[in-house]
């Protein structure tokens, strides 16, 4: 029996890509498609919106109306919408995959609370390659971090609303945790004017927003005489979509709890 997938934000770039990925996987079935309640696309066929032909799933504006028809909801939207979807999944006892970023501390705590009752997989990036980079960063930080200046560069399309990206922040957190540093105290998110000499324990972030860049991330470990760079470049959102659906299939067999892509890929140490 196919795993029944619900997708939020189906009219957006990531939503359409997720619908395309579901339609290409015989193990999955699109069971629900969601958009904002005020969207003019309500009632449209989700498959036709995504360019994969009629799927027989009309776009809905109310998660409560469709959550009973799914096994796992995949959510890449905005924090307020995601929190409402988490609440609906919790009420219905359904699992949820969360790719939304930009939550406050209190909102993160709310998601952790919901995960006591339902399986939740939340990650800043669902690309397999990016999650491998997280593991490589642990090794690099442990080997080079105390003798290197560490800088993180990220670039995304002009429409991305949060900065730095959730992936860049996750990369910084991996490095900081490995080195025993508090990222909130050592992160520098911009430099201008007479900044003075760079503090060795600083982790710097540089952000670019331009064109249709899907997602570039580079972490540089720069020491005297050499530097090591760990880079991931995404050329298509399909990498994120396939990873999210891999997480959905994995999550469907798990007990309630808060998981991430490291758990899905077996990279958790």
Burial class (CB in 10 A: 0-12, 13-18, 19+), 53: exposed
Helices (H), the chain: 13-23, 46-50, 63-66, 79-92, 105-114, 128-144, 166-179, 183-186, 238-251, 261-264
In which element (H, E) is residue 156 found? strand 149-156
Q: Does residue 160 have an active-site annotation?
A: yes
Q: Taking Cα atoms as reference points, which of 42, 232, 15 lies closest to residue 137? A: 232
Quote the CA–CA distance of 112 and 117 in Å, as a whole number. 10
Burial class (CB in 10 A: 0-12, 13-18, 19+), 206: middle
Considering 122, 156, 217, 232, which one is annotated as catalytic?
Answer: 156
Length of the chain: 269
CB 6 within 8 A of CB 65: no
Instruction: Quickly list DSSP for 159-215.
Output: T--SSS-HHHHHHHHHHHHHHT--HHHHEE----S---SPPTT-EEEEEEE-TT--E
Q: Does residue 156 have an active-site annotation?
A: yes
CB 248 within 8 A of CB 5: yes
Tokens of 225: 């005489």
Considering 54, 157, 159, 160, which one is annotated as catalytic?
Answer: 160
Catalytic center residues: 156, 160
């Amino acid at each position: 029996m196919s795993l029944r997938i619900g997708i939020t934000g189906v009219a957006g770039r990531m939503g359409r890509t997720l619908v395309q990925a579901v339609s290409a996987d015989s193990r999955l079935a699109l069971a629900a498609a969601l958009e904002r309640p005020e969207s003019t696309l309500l009632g449209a066929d989700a498959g036709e919106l995504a360019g994969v032909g009629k799927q027989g799933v009309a776009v809905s504006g109310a998660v409560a109306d469709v959550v009973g028809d799914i096994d796992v909801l995949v959510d890449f939207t905005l924090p307020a919408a995601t929190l409402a979807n988490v609440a609906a999944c919790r009420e219905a006892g359904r699992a949820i995959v969360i790719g939304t970023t930009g939550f406050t501390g209190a909102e993160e705590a709310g998601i952790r609370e919901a995960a006591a009752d339902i399986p939740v997989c939340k990650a800043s990036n669902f690309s397999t390659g990016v999650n491998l980079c997280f593991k490589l960063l642990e090794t690099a930080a442990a080997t080079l971090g105390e003798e290197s200046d560490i800088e993180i560069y990220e670039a995304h399309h002009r429409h991305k609303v949060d900065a730095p990206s959730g992936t860049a922040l996750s990369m910084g957190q991996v490095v900081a945790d490995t080195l025993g540093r508090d990222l909130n105290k050592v992160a520098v998110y911009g430099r201008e004017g007479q900044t003075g000499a760079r503090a060795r324990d600083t982790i710097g972030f540089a952000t670019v927003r331009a064109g249709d860049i899907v997602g570039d991330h580079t972490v540089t470990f720069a020491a005297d005489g050499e530097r090591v760079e760990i880079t991931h470049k995404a050329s298509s959102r399909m990498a994120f979509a396939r990873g999210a659906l891999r997480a959905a299939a994995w999550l469907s067999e798990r007990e309630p709890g808060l998981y991430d892509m490291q758990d899905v890929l077996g990279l958790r140490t």
